[in-house]
Amino acid sequence: MQIRLFVQVSLNIGQTISLSDEQVHYLRNVLRCEPGIEVYLFNGQDGEYTGVLSALSKKEAIVQVCRQLKKQPEKQNIHLFFAPLKRDCSELVVQKATELGVTKITLVLTEYTSNKHINLDRFKSIVLESCEQCRRLDVPELGQMVDLKTLLSEYDETKPMLVHLDETGQGQKAEVVFKGKKEIAFLTGPEGGFSETERNLIKNAKNTIGLDLGPRILRAETASIAAISLFTCK
């Protein structure tokens, strides 16, 4: 079993690292590890390293950094703006967006947003766990919630193209929307979709384009994942 851990310190060969209390519990009580096992380490900046668990007790875990496996890759620019959904659905979007390579996630307050009580610490834990699981070396940034009107009023040509998911049948196909794009931003709405007023605001906003995901009406979390997949897997 390969064990990957996110650490909040710089990584260098020969370095000794003390792991967090949560990681001590995870290694000792969940995985029931013993000293001497190999672990993989990343911090979102210095690439991926291997290390040896040199000590493990009830209160501490020590890792000796041995060698670098991968250098830190060049950071992409894929921004997801999404309206909070029911708790499990929001967590699913954050998890899958992380796995698919989104580099920043920002919550958007809309007229039909029903879940306004967001635990960003919980989202941060999901992001880190997803990075550990999928062998991602960078860690997505979590932005503070922004009002949709404010977002659209401040969005311009200096930012990546803002792709909204168009359910009216007037959106463009993926091959048209994503052609030649190396950076992108997505905007997805809540369970009830955008209001008529919001759809008009989006349509008339600068640097935006509608994406057609086909004839079916997708759930909000499905639409987010599908759109990101079309871009990152092209």
3-class secondary structure for 145-193?
EEEHHHHHHHCCCCCCCEEEECCCCCCECHHHHCCCCCEEEEEECCCCC
Q: Tokens in use for 201?
A: 């605001």
**pTM across the whole model:** 0.89
Residue 166 — very low, low, confident or very high, per pLDDT cuts 50/70/90? confident
pLDDT recorded at residue 35: 95
pLDDT digits (tens, 9 = 90+) for 83-127: 999 989 999 999 999 999 999 999 999 998 887 788 899 999 999
User: Which residue from 105, 110, 102 is spatially nearest to 83, judged by alpha carbons?
Assistant: 110
pLDDT at 234 over 90: no
Could you tell me the pLDDT band of residue 9, with boundaries at 50, 70 and 90? very high
Tell me the two tokens of residue 163. 């792709």
Say yes or no to pLDDT of 66 above 80.
Answer: yes
Report how far residue 85's alpha carbon sits from residue 87's, in angstroms, rounded to the nearest whole number. 6
% of residues, the chain, pLDDT over 90: 76
Judge whether residue 210 has pLDDT over 80: yes
> Tell me, what DSSP letter sits at residue 30?
I
pLDDT for the residue 97: 97
Confidence at residue 16, expressed as pLDDT on a 0 to 100 scale: 96
pLDDT digits (tens, 9 = 90+) for 21-57: 999 999 999 999 999 999 999 999 999 999 999 999 9
Q: Hey, what amino acid is at 175?
A: E
Average pLDDT over all residues of the chain:
92
Average pLDDT over every residue of 124-145: 94
Neighbours of 80 (CB within 10 A): 26
Predicted confidence at residue 75, as pLDDT, reads 84
84: number of Cβ within 10 Å: 23
Given pLDDT bands bounded at 50, 70 and 90, which one contains residue 78?
very high
SS percent in the chain: helix, strand, coil, step 5:
30, 25, 40
Confidence of residue 138 (pLDDT cuts 50, 70, 90): very high
